[in-house]
Structure 1
Amino acid sequence: MSLGSPSRRRLWPWIVDAALVVLILVMGLAGSVGAYRSLALKAAGQQRELLNAMGQSVVGAFDLQLVRVVETLQAASRMLSAQPGLTRAQFARYGAGLVTDSSALTLLEWQPVVPHAQLAEFERQANLEQPGYRVVEPAPQYQGDGLIAARERDMHVPVRYSWPENGSAVGVDMAFDPRRMRSKLLARDAGVPIASETFPLIRLGQQAAAISGFAVSAPVYRISQPTGVEARRRELTGFLAGVIELPTLMAEAALRADANGLDVFVFDQEEKHRLIYSSAGSEPFQSDERDTALSIDVGGRPWQLVLRPRPGVLAGEGDRTPLLVLAAGSLASLLVALAVARSLVVRRRLERTEADLAEDRQRMANVLDGTAAGTWDWHIDTGRLDINERWARMLGRSRAELEPVTSTTWERLCHPGDLIESNLAMKRHFSGADERYTAEFRMRHAEGHWVWVQSNGSVFERDAQGRPLRLAGTHMDISRRKADEQRLYDDARALEAANRQLRDLAIVDALTGAFNRRHFNDVCLAALAGAQRGQAVALCMLDVDHFKAYNDRYGHQAGDAVLKALAQTLKDSLKRSTDALFRLGGEEFGVIFSATSAETAEHFVSQLSAALHALALPHEGSPQRVVTASFGLAWWAAPSSNLTPEAMYAAADDALYEAKRCGRDQVVMRCFLAGEGEGETRTSEPMALSGRQA
């Protein structure tokens, strides 16, 4: 007979009444109260256990997806750090691999950091790949596609690429929204993916109601894993953002909760306990004593998940008055039966919850298999190190070959040059300075070569004094990434050397090694910039006398040798790092130098002429029988801001023309004193400074 049949329910109170009357008479009121309290306490504990088990099942429905999203974004951001020249096609391949039907991600975005001064150039470069690209932001009272040009701010974070692109926010400057930027700035400083607040997702070109969601932003740096906040801010290049739609993320959790007769409410603790999701519709949330609250970490952001059983789901509700037990003993046996029935229900639900947990553990094992990670568990007090088989295979060995495995085993296999940095990282984690232990080091392979390993772990057991007892984590083989980084570094060095060589070729005369005419204006402008701070400046131009006759008599190869010898002599005579020699054309040269007085400038040029005479290069076609040159010198005591390279060239060239007209092998000088509009002319014989001519 079924205890739940209508006839039995009708007869049972009479039977129980009779039995309870006898029981009350025998054992007394105290025994009845004690039995009731014992059952009530047991029922309350079972209810809490049941709700906690249900809560773990609901949390497991999306917690594993979030873990995968964070790990995927962190791994992808490191790949982008090693690949600075990201293209639209490459990002599309990344996105197609990461945004799948089995992933919680609905959108993947590359958001570079662009200073405002570089925004125009950034838009120009983007238009070469995506015509019509522009950096925009939602207009006030945003509706539909109401976008305007991004307003000026110190730092822009525009969406450069997106996958999928249909309806994505490509070009939208995410810096317009402080809510979005708070999580990005935290991710930048922490070096790990951080989840944002929930907000209406932007879907360009779509008129449907906005969907609530959030983004997990992973920072991308120019170098791999910069240490310290200042280094991370300096090396930041942008963010890899994964967008998650809240209804999609909570779909499976809501189904599990509904199957267990529960309503789910999710609150963001950092937003003053704001309700961000409810499976019970839009009804206002009111706290209930039946609620079970669980704390969840969502990409570094604390959420609270509240489970509320629907009316009638949990048995025993309302059976809370001991007066009823004392007044009507007939209900005692019914309470016991109900408690037993409830225990059976709890057992079946616990079995179902355990099956869900086993499935979650299997999923975690699949994640480890998919990432080819080796696991380790270090018992710090004894030194014992528990590893899995993949940890050993990563080094070309088996776990049996390494037994017994201790921390000494790891130190023996680790590269000596990497031990210090790894131990420092471990100490930082032990002291609480770093949330997790992370290190990269080389380990000896069985075949003799080194394998680059990335180790991540954390302390999960401490003693009463807070000292770490157990540290566990994973090993990942990153040898290929390290090889790629080295190749990129070598290529960059080679490119830098080639650019430097091309730059030198662009400004240096190939024959004489002097600067060419193209570089003349740049050096003049630099000299004038210093001169306008109160320094004098001088320009000397010289031309080899009778050089055509020299070429006709001795040949052009001999003429080239004379020019090279002349250039080398002039360069050897320069005294300051700011002095510069130019070949202005043919046999004409120029020297820019600084001189505190006209006499100093004239003396320096006379020394140049003397050095040329000292070469004593034969020239039968010259009256002096050696190679000589005519010098035109212009000196400004305090040049004004109106002085230009062209005016300097014209003044020195005029003096040079005067020297040639006066018979060559001369030094003619133009002095421009402060406040004077015209310069005075001085002409002197080479090597004889006292013989100036007016």
Structure 2
Amino acid sequence: MESSKLLSKEDLISFETKFFNLFETIDDMFIISSLDGNIIYCNMSLLNKMEYSFQELKNMNILDLHPKEKIEEASIVLREILDGTRDKCLLEAISKSGVKYEVETRIWFGKWNEEDCIYSISRDFTKENENLRLISKIFQNNPMPMIITDIEERKFIKVNPVFLEKTGYLEEELVGMRVDKLNIVVDMKRYEDMRNRLLSGEEIKDEELVIKCKDDSFLTGLFSIEEINNNGKRAFLIVMVDITEKVALTNRLRNKLQKLTNIIEGTNLGTWEWNIITGEVEFNEQWGKLIGYSLEELKPISIKTWRRFSHPDDLKLSDEMVKRHLKNEIDSYDCEIRMKHRDGRWIWVRDRGKVTERDKSGRPIKMFGTHSDITLAKEQSIELERFFSVNIDLLCILDMKGRFLKANKAWEDILGYPVDTLIGRRAMELVHKNDHHNTLESIKKLKKDGKLTNFINRYRTIDGEYLYFEWRTNLYNDVIYAASRDITERMKYEEKILDASNKDCLTGIYNRRYVYNRAEEIIERYKKREDDFSVCIIDIDYFKGVNDKYGHRIGDLVLKEFTSVIKENLRPYDILGRYGGEEFIVILNDIDEKESVLILERILNVIRNKTFNCNGNDINFTFSAGVANCKEIKKEEIVIDRLIGLADKRMYRAKNAGRNRIASRIK
């Protein structure tokens, strides 16, 4: 009776064959090693990825597959797994050529050739982790304020730097706090209504809401909210478009992120063995679990079972690839297909297989394969592509030479360049030549610090016009991730404001403050290059009499006409400003004292011979002026107040000498 329970030799061979077939068709790296860690056996996935031959590996220890600086850590972690204190680990592995991979490893004890051994299976999570880091960086570097909140407890989970910058809060002041307790939302009733509508299935997009900043100021924004999966918990992703300032740079921003799911733990592989002759198929339990069923529920099982759950649009490609493999046109079958889950959704599955048995004529008899759920990778790829496609700001990825690797459609919408014409092109080709130096310096800073925010330069449109953009960039693994916003209208508005703040409201010439600032620049230039210049103070003679006789309104007209005459007789690079009342200041650049006096005398002669007609009143007047040259004061002692004081003293000397004249050191 006991002997009947023993497996026959044929059964053992069949079991062993299936065992090896299983591990030769999976992407995961499978290793059998001695208790000392010396490698006894491995599958093809490990050989391909690690780039070693089997003979090389037989002389290696499993710790040798990790970088030297990680071996001690790997030794500790693996010991903990063997001790039962943990069931898996995420460690860095390195190939023969030095390529590094992030792998998750599971280990268990077993027997090999009746000797105790260690079985280990490792999955490469490098690409999945890269995707997660990329999405996180997009969140962190997005030019829009973004937050993630817990659905049930209403607590802040995560906030991006832009939200903190706009509201004035520190991250630790928000994360973990309840939205309704923090008093950050002005109209909580409206917020709760938005929340309830979202939970009931209604879409929340671009709805106006006012929030309170830390300094008690207010921001009005258009809020879009989406439910996402955050580490296994339901959460709200909230995106805000700041519309507080009336000079809005965009109409509306729609930005939605779909659910993020955790990377599927373990291998989660479904296995299948297909008898090509009879059509019979054997599945393992995990195969059924991938689509939400037990094997019992799927009976009777055949090749038709798989076809019944496969998406009809994908079967054509799958059938074609199977036929090519059966004819030995390709080494193995590898296809991505959609399968209908029990809950009604379609999941993406990587279907891989290989003929394991052929007859003497080469006709295929059996084929063995695996199914792995790749839905997460597909969703992440779609997520990233959707993010690029819907964002109305410029988004791009560049290499270290500044060449486009990827760009979103906003480049075409705003600048007019089709995306495919940008790929491989250097971004600097589109930058205004006057911004090249600052842009290159900013790139140096980015390479040094790893990130750069609030950098402004100009980019050329396809029509030759230049627009201003504000950039946020991040450097990761020698790749530049950048986002920018068109601020052309804002720059024009600020330029108008700045220009108005520098002008005298009556005459339209520069005010005293602006002239002083320019004078400081001219003095610094003189100290470096000794470019000659003179400062002149002009005062209209007997102007009080004009105001007394004709009134201040006529007096204002006279001042405006007077400044027009002076401007017409100055050079474009000379500076004219109103010093106060009927006094004016002129800075004559790149000219010596004698030529400065000649220019003022020419202007005085024009005034002497001109009759100003203001509302029917003929008015004649003259002026007195004083001139001070930069070379009258020692270079190290020169300041604008000393030059103005000297010119002002000479102007009064001209007044006392009878007015209607110019006073200087030489006259």
Q: What is the TM-score with the length of structure 1 in the denominator?
A: 0.37
Q: Which has the higher contact order (CA 8 A, sep 6+)?
A: 1
- Pick the structure with more strand per residue: 2
Larger radius of gyration: 1
Q: What is the TM-score with the length of structure 2 in the denominator?
A: 0.39
- Pick the structure with more helix per residue: 1
